[in-house]
Every structure is written in structure tokens, then in C-alpha cells.
Structure 1
Amino acid sequence: MSTTPVPPRASLLLLAYLAFVSLGLPDGLLGVGWPSIRGDFGVPTEAVGLLLTAGTAGYLTSSVLAGFTLARVGVGALLAGSTLLASLALTGYSVSPGLTVLVGCALLLGLGSGAIDSGLNAYAAGAFGPRHMNWMHAFFGLGVAIGPLIMTGALSAGLAWRWGYGIVAAAQLALATAFALTVRAWRQRAAPGGPVERAPGPRPVVRVRETLRLPAVWSGALAFALYVAIEVAAGLWAFLLLTEGRGLGATVAGACVSAYWGSLFLGRVVQGVVAERLGPARVLRVSLAGMAVGAALIAVPGPAALAVAGLVVVGFAAAPVFPLLTLTTADRVGAAHADRAIGLQIGAAGLGAALVPAGLGVLIGNTSVRVLGPALLVLALALIALHELGVRRPGRPATGASGDSAPDETGAQPAASRQPSGADQMLSGPVRPVVEGR
């Protein structure tokens, strides 16, 4: 029987790419726009923590709920509604009269973004292989790279920071319309050598508590929290580090922040192909080590060029970590628990993205922005330790209904007992279980 993968439907793949661009755009806006926002509203630097906390509350709530209810709601409808909500929230940013309203908009933006992120990751983990999974996440990096350019361009033209958010709100509205027009297409699944199929008939029920009992679910969630904390903290505080800590001008520093996010995009494009050839385990190990090296370059006192080089190294090395950890979720927890685990992982990622950068903001406000490099290095080393602990753990946690065998130390399962996962599962035709809350 042939195992040649069936390419994902081109229109849905394009929409998935654009959706991840839209997820990245607001993150890129905030880092460059915050000094102006802070000045307009007369609030201290660490007040950004209020926005991050509100955004995280919404993101965490919607991402976890999306993972648990995706089978009932349908990914197409979820994406259409969530993108519309994000557009409304960004419109609120552009007309906000003060910080309080801005915090409320951050909550709505988190609700929309979390559902988009969780829904698309769960869908892609079953429909895309390593290359397209990395490329999809690469477009998040492209979005965050474009975000600072949009905000820098608006500010350089003498416009208010509100214009940056208004432009992105319009783009989100267009994307929401595209999702609404393709709701039915997202329900279709491809089978190898055959026509497109709709979701097949009776599927086993898996209880929520069976998923929550798995140690691999929680260790995976912690790894996501640490990884995203590094990625977001580096991007959020890099502008301040380069301007106040290294003496660069605002325009040059804004371009350097874009270079950081651009390296994340480029790394995912390149390493998507590499991961497909070498396997996720090897690529993950090298990438985690590279993140630590880049953080060390940022931590070392020296010229601005050294810090910029460190940021680019962190971005390029971090590129495949999130998509590969997501893609291999079914291998760690079993296919029956994959959607829920991905929802929890995305939620944990949102938590790490808010709490750690916000905590760093408080630390920077009370000390110096130069603390950013050492903090990133500590987080990178902790992530390496957690990953190695997971790799060396003897045996595999039970997977409930999936009945999968333990993977070997490379991350692959024995050929005789391996259950299809990720793209293989979707393309080779086995039935995915329904997950129901009990």
C-alpha cells in the first residue's frame, strides 16, 4: 500500500498561512508602538503587563476551550468567528481613549487569537507534514516581522500609533470573510489515492480525565510555556534593549526587531525541509542549543551589533521548535488525546508569553534593560533541561484509547506497532476519535 502523502488542499493551505500572518501582526505592533502608547496615556513601562495579562486570559481560555470543543464546532466556523473577533478588538485599539479600554480590547484579541491558534494547529497536526507545518508557523514570523515595519512606517510618517492597529484590523476583517466563505471546505479530509472525504462515521469516545492524567500532556505544556516566553520576551523588549541599552536610533532599532522576527520566518522556511529529511528529534536538539548560544550573545556586554547578532541567532534557532513540538504531539500523548493536548499546549504557550515578558518588564523597570540577555539565557537552559528529561524518560505514558507503543529515543515509534500520527494519520485514512467532555 502506498504511503505517498496527498498534498493539502491549496486554498486551505494558503488561508492557513495568511491566518498565521494575521496572528503575528499584532505582536509585532506592540513592541515598537508601546513607547508611544505609554507616552500618550501617561503610564509606566511595566503597565504593558496589564495588556499582556488581559490578552493571556482571553488567549488561554479560548485556546483550551477550542481544543476541547473543536470536533463539535468545526474548524471553519471557529476560524471565521475568531478572526472577526480579532478584527473588532484591533479596531478598538485604534480608537481607544485610554489604557482601561485598551486592556479590554487586549482581552478580546486574546479570545480571538487563542481560538485561531489552537484550531489551526490541531487541524494542521493532522493534515500537514513537517514541511508545511513549519512553513505555516513561518508565516507567523513573517507577520511579526511585518508588524514593526507597519508601526515604524506610521510613526516615521508622523501618524499616531493608532494607524498601525487600524491597518491590521482591516486585514483581519478581509481574512474573516475568506474563512466564512470556506467553512464547508475545512470539514473535508483527504484520503490517499481517493477523493476528498467528509468526517467518517462512528468514532470512539475519550473522556477528558483520561487526557488530563497523562504526564506527557503537562510536560509538553510546560515546554511550550518556556519556549514561547523566550520568543515573545526577546521580540517585545529587544527595541528597548537596542535603544536604551545599546544606543541605537529608533528607526534602526525597529528594523533590527523586524530582523529578529524575519530570522524566525526564514528559519522555519529552511528548517521545515531539513526536519522532513533529518527528523524532528535531531532538529529540536540543535535548535534548543542554538537558542542558548543566541541568548548568551545578547547577555554579553558589548556593542549593539553583538546584541543584534544574538537576536538573529535566537530567532533562527527557535524557528522549528514550536511547529515540531506541535506536530509530534500525537506521538507523545496518542492520537485520541492530540486535539486536547494541543489546546492545552497552546494555552500554556499563551500563559508563558504573558507572565514571563510581563515579569521581565517589572524587572527591567526596577533595574535595567540589560537584564534581558541573562534572563533569556536562563530560560533557554531550562528548556533544554526539560526537553532532555522528556527524551530520557524511560517508557511512554499510557494513551488511553489510542494504544500506541513507546517511541524510541529518536522520537519515532517501532515500525511494527506505530500508529499513524500527524500528516500520516490524516492521509492514511484511520478514523480520528471524537473527544467529549465528561
Structure 2
Amino acid sequence: MISLLLAVIYLVFISLGLPDSLLGSGWPKMQVVFGVPSSYAGYISMTICFMTIISALLSPRMINRVHTKWIVISSIVLTILGLAGFSISHRYEMLFIFAIPYGLGAGAIDASVNHYVASNYSGSAMNFLHCFYGVGAMISPYIMSLALKYAKWNEGYLWTAFVQTAILAIVIISLPLWKGNESEAEEDRQESAGIRESIKVPGVLLTLIAFFAYCSGEATCFLWTPSYFAGTKSGLSDERIAAFGALIFSGLMLGRLISGFISNIFGDKKLIRLGIILEFIGIFMLFIPTQNYLIAAIGFVIIGTGMGPVYPAIQHMAPTNFGKRYSAAVIGLQMAFAYTGSTFMPMVFGVLQQHIGIGIMPVYLIFFAILNIGMLELAYLRCGKIQTI
């Protein structure tokens, strides 16, 4: 029953990833239909992220009052509403209205399910969980491409809403599977602390800064990797440059897949340290002065592979480092800091590269990698639970 429930939870994280790639894949056509500049996608994306931050900050209170299964169901319903709303939008301004449920649903699922898995399953399960998020994020661009080929961009959102509805039906059918952990979860909810109390716990603020740093680097790679190749390597076709956008994502999937098999052997802290060492190796490969794009391409895959275990491991450590009383609030805060970094720091890099040049990207990435590991090591010391290697 436990393994069957875990399969349902993995399916939930596929549903979390499904909406995240739609805007990017559909926007080239959407902007033409709406008659707005390409940059206007950023305003929609920021609205979704802002609502996700709000939802993540509210998640500790929701987790304390409502069982995770009901948060998951209501969040998927909100996401379906957002996707269906996008599909019927015929004016750009309408997207802002439906971006509200779109973002609220994502943040609530992310924080509540991460807390549930961190509290009830191993680090291996947490890494595989985030792998399945990637599966969802990989599927939706194909849904949109089929819609653009055989129908319109609207159907891409509508078809994704249908997939989400099917996942919702499976979650509803699986409700009896959650009963095994209900009594323990009820006790945890009664003892859980709020955000104001939790942020004062030694080490929490340091892990929040570390999470902000990690997601800043990750999101910068997602947005700017193709531009890095276009600006630093010559003779590349537009198709090949666009394909380089998948390098970091492929590395992340690989890193989390490998971590799923070895995390129970190494533990979260060692896994993070090994991952960031690998990330440094990938970043240093970008400093090699050559026009050969293969070295940089391998470097970005290595960066992504190193980043892979960091996000799941930090969240999985929350109950251990801070206790179950604080873990729900800490994970909610982590999600809020994560989306803040993902929302704003790629934009900051965009301004920097416009004045200095896209070649500054490895320096930008190494700054956040150092900030990430530095804050985590300080957090371990503050928690008083540092382990010797």
C-alpha cells in the first residue's frame, strides 16, 4: 500500500511539472495572436511565480489544518482552472486573471507534498519525486507542439487540463491509501510551528539563503544557456542553439536519477557536497577559452547533474535538522525563497549581460554556487549536527 501511495505521489509531481513548460513553448505563437512584444511573457510568468510564493508562504498554515491529500486535490483543481482559463483567453489581459489559480495551485502542491515525503519517506524517494516533476515538465512541450501542429495553442492548455483532470481522478480514487499516515500526520499538525517562530530557529535563515542561491543559479541556466552559446560560440544554427536549452534540464534529471539510487548510502549532506563539487567542475569548463561548443555543452550537463540532488536533499533534511515541529513552515519558506530567486535573479543577470556581455555567465553561476554551499555549511554548524566525512 505504501509503494502504491508513493506511485500516486509521483503522479502528483508529474502534474506539478506539466503546466510549467507550457508558457515558454506556446508563447512564440501566443504573442503573435495577442499582438504583444515577446518580453510580455515575463509579466505573466512573474504573476504566476508571485502567486506561487504566496501559496508557499500560506502552506504551513494549510498543512497544520488540512491533510495533505485535500491540499493536493484542491491545488490540482486550481491548476485545472488556470489551464482551462488560459485556453479560453482571447486577450492578453485575461491571462493575468487565470495566472492567479495557476500559481496558487503550484505552490500549495510543491510545499505540502515535499513536506509529506520528507516526513514519511527516504532521501531516495525525495530524489525520485523531483525526477517525476521533470517528467511532467518534459511532456507538456510535446502536448503544445501537437496542438500547434494540429489545432491551436489554446488546445495545448486545454489538453493539458484534460491530463490534469485524469490525474485528479486517480488521486481521488487513491484517497483510502493515505489513511496509513493520517494518525501520525494529525499529531504532527497539532505540534507544528508557524513561520514567525520557525524562521528564528538556528540555521533556518541560512538554509533559506542557500535555497535562494541554488534556485537563482538554476533558473539563470534555464533561461540564458542558449543565449550563452549564441553569444560565445560562432557558426551554430538557430536550431542547435535552441536545443542547448535542454542541457541543464537533462543534467538535472540525470543527477536526480542517480541520487535516487545512492542517496540512502551517502546521506543528504554528502550528496549535496558531491553535487556542488560536480557543479564547480562544470562551471570551470565554461572558462576554457575555445570555440568548440562541445566542451561548454558537456560543462552545462555536468552543472545540471551536480545541481540535481541539491534541491531535494535540502528539503529532505528539514525534519532532521529542525524537527517535525518546524519542518512544514521551513519547507514553505524554502519554496518561497526558491521562487523569489527563480523569478528575479535571471532578470538581474539579463541586465548584467546586457552591459558586460553574456560571457559573464560562469562568474555569475560560481557566485551563487559558493553562496549556496557556504550558507549550507554554516547552517549545519548552527544546527549542531554537522557530520564528519
Measured against aligned partners, the alpha-carbon deviations of 1:271-317 in whole angstroms (never above 9, x if no partner) come to 12222112222111121122233234446563443332232112211
Q: Quick one: which amino acid aligns to residue 206 of structure 2?
A: S
Other-structure match for 1:347: 336
Q: For residues 50-61 of structure 1, what are the structure 2 equivalents within 5 Å?
A: 50-61=43-54
Other-structure match for 2:180: 188
Q: Is this contact kept in 1: 2:202–2:379, CA < 8 A? A: no
RMSD: 3.0
User: What is the aligned length?
Assistant: 386
Other-structure match for 1:328: 317
Pairwise CA distance, 1:125: 0.7
Q: Quick one: which amino acid aligns to residue 349 of structure 1?
A: A
Pairwise CA distance, 1:234: 1.4
Q: For residues 214-229 of structure 1, what are the structure 2 equivalents within 5 Å?
A: 214-229=201-216
Check if 1:275 corresponds to 2:263. yes
Pick the aligned partner of 2:20 from 24, 27, 35: 27
Q: 1:183 to 1:140 in 2, by over 3 A?
A: same
Check if 1:118 corresponds to 2:107. no
Larger CA deviation: 330-339 vs 307-316: 307-316
Task: Tell me, in whole angstroms, the C-alpha distance in 2 between the residues paired with 1:357 and 1:30.
Answer: 17
Pairwise CA distance, 1:79: 0.4
Q: For residues 221-300 of structure 1, what are the structure 2 equivalents within 5 Å?
A: 221-242=208-229, 246=233, 248-249=236-237, 251-298=239-286
Q: For residues 308-319 of structure 1, what are the structure 2 equivalents within 5 Å?
A: 308-319=297-308
Pairwise CA distance, 1:75: 0.8
Task: Tell me, in whole angstroms, the C-alpha distance in 1 between the residues paired with 2:372 and 2:158.
Answer: 36
Task: Tell me, in whole angstroms, the C-alpha distance in 1 between the residues paired with 2:33 and 2:231.
Answer: 19
Q: 1:293 to 1:185 in 2, by over 3 A?
A: same
Check if 1:68 corresponds to 2:61. yes
Gaps of 5+ in 2: none
Task: Tell me, in whole angstroms, the C-alpha distance in 2 between the residues paired with 1:20 and 1:357.
Answer: 24
Pairwise CA distance, 1:45: 4.7
Measured against aligned partners, the alpha-carbon deviations of 1:4-25 in whole angstroms (never above 9, x if no partner) come to xxxx712321121122222223
Task: Tell me, in whole angstroms, the C-alpha distance in 1 between the residues paired with 2:192 and 2:74.
Answer: 27
Other-structure match for 1:93: 86
Pairwise CA distance, 1:55: 1.4
SS state of the match for residue 188, structure 1? helix
Task: Tell me, in whole angstroms, the C-alpha distance in 1 between the residues paired with 2:359 and 2:147.
Answer: 28
Pairwise CA distance, 1:96: 2.6
Task: Tell me, in whole angstroms, the C-alpha distance in 1 between the residues paired with 2:240 and 2:16.
Answer: 24
Other-structure match for 1:164: 156
Pairwise CA distance, 1:232: 2.3
Q: Is this contact kept in 1: 2:206–2:378, CA < 8 A? A: no
- Normalising by structure 1, report the TM-score: 0.78
Task: Tell me, in whole angstroms, the C-alpha distance in 2 between the residues paired with 1:46 and 1:313.
Answer: 30
Task: Tell me, in whole angstroms, the C-alpha distance in 1 between the residues paired with 2:133 and 2:189.
Answer: 33
Larger CA deviation: 42-51 vs 363-372: 363-372
Measured against aligned partners, the alpha-carbon deviations of 1:81-108 in whole angstroms (never above 9, x if no partner) come to 1011112212223333343222333332
Pairwise CA distance, 1:116: 0.5
Q: Is this contact kept in 2: 1:148–1:257, CA < 8 A? A: no
Q: Is this contact kept in 2: 1:300–1:373, CA < 8 A? A: no
Q: Is this contact kept in 2: 1:225–1:349, CA < 8 A? A: yes
SS state of the match for residue 90, structure 2? coil
Task: Tell me, in whole angstroms, the C-alpha distance in 2 between the residues paired with 1:245 and 1:152.
Answer: 29
SS state of the match for residue 213, structure 1? coil
Pairwise CA distance, 1:149: 4.1
Other-structure match for 2:372: 383
Task: Tell me, in whole angstroms, the C-alpha distance in 1 between the residues paired with 2:216 and 2:176.
Answer: 36
Gaps of 5+ in 1: 1-7, 190-195, 397-405, 412-438
- Normalising by structure 2, report the TM-score: 0.87
Larger CA deviation: 375-384 vs 204-213: 204-213
Task: Tell me, in whole angstroms, the C-alpha distance in 2 between the residues paired with 1:223 and 1:343.
Answer: 14
Task: Tell me, in whole angstroms, the C-alpha distance in 2 between the residues paired with 1:78 and 1:163.
Answer: 27
Q: 1:94 to 1:378 in 2, by over 3 A?
A: farther
Q: 1:203 to 1:52 in 2, by over 3 A?
A: closer
Larger CA deviation: 59-68 vs 27-36: 27-36
